[in-house]
A and B are shown apart, each in its own frame.
Chain A
Amino acid sequence: MNTEDYISSGILQDYCLGLLTNIEEGKVEKICNEFPELGKELQLLRLALENYAGAMTEERKAVLYQDIWKIIKTIKKNNI
């Protein structure tokens, strides 16, 4: 396996963007486990996407957290 060719094929980007079938995803994961440099590249791509999403961070009401936690506590209490 030529890892440079694999990286430049763009399949890791497709994986991160969720554009592969389940079978294709499984193959990428297997290969990334076998080749550490590919696993590392995949994580860098994932991280870039997460940071891109992080750039969209917006302020939200402080009370929102309390509202959500209240619902979860009810769910826990009633074992729903």
Chain B
Amino acid sequence: MTAANVFTTQPLHLSPFITQKRVTATFVDSATLVQMIKSGNEKGFHLLYDNYSGALFGILKKLVHRTDVAEDLLQDAFVKIWKNIDGFDPMRGSLFTWMLQIARNQAIDYLRSSCYRQQMSHIDNEAYAHHVDQLSNTDANICIVESKELKNKANQLDSKYAAVIDMIFIYGCTHEQTSRLLNLPLGTVKSRARKGLSLLKNIFSQ
């Protein structure tokens, strides 16, 4: 095997979230999944949705704080993913990271929109919280994957590292923005990001 093969064609993981115990039995690696979607296969799209929509939805909710908006954004993101699947380059990162970038951009566009600002100026905090609670009471997707084990592991990461990882990976902030928002020196942000990710690697490798 050549060195190039190790990085480009021999993924260590084939499933999106390796430590998850799956309720659904179907398993397809991401390269096959991408091919299925490119050929317009509904089963491929169903698997893509089944594997990744829960995590993307959770992240979108974290970003926009509203279930109904997160649902709309998830819908827009998946349509965009479908339309732009030819733009996915496995050399530039994993399928999930590419999808996350699309979903996050949808959320950022929404947060920058006048629609969002208008909503926020009219909704007082109490009413907003009540609204969010009501919207959260949705039907469960019976196909959802088990993520309790992942949650338990993620919670092992010290909050000081998690805060920095969240700002950069989930919210898409730069080192400098993270430094300003968390009121931390730039050097501390850089070292916590690196250390935090190394700790996550150890936690999820256990």
Footprint of B on A, CB under 8 Å?
10, 13-14, 16-19, 25, 29, 32-36, 38-40, 42-65, 67-69, 71-72, 75-76
Contact = CB atoms under 8 A, between A and B. Distances in A.
Given A19-B175, A36-B6, A57-B55, A47 B204 contact: yes
A33 B4 CA distance: 4
A48 B168 contact: no
Contacts of B8: 33
Contacts of B109: none
B102 interface: no
Interface in B139-192: 139-145, 147, 150-151, 153-155, 157, 165, 168-170, 172, 174-175, 190-191
Contacts of B198: 13, 45
B120 interface: no
A48 B154 CA distance: 9
A54 B55 contact: yes
Contact of A51 (B17, B140, B144, B155): B17
A10 B150 contact: no
B93 interface: yes
A53 B100 CA distance: 9
B139 A52 contact: no
A47 B91 CA distance: 15
Given A33-B4, A60-B138, A53 B59 contact: yes
A56 B58 contact: yes
A64 B143 CA distance: 12
A20 to B, nearest CB: 11
Nearest to B191: A10
B201 A40 contact: no
Contacts of B46: 65, 69
A59 B75 contact: no
B7 A55 contact: no
A35 B2 CA distance: 10
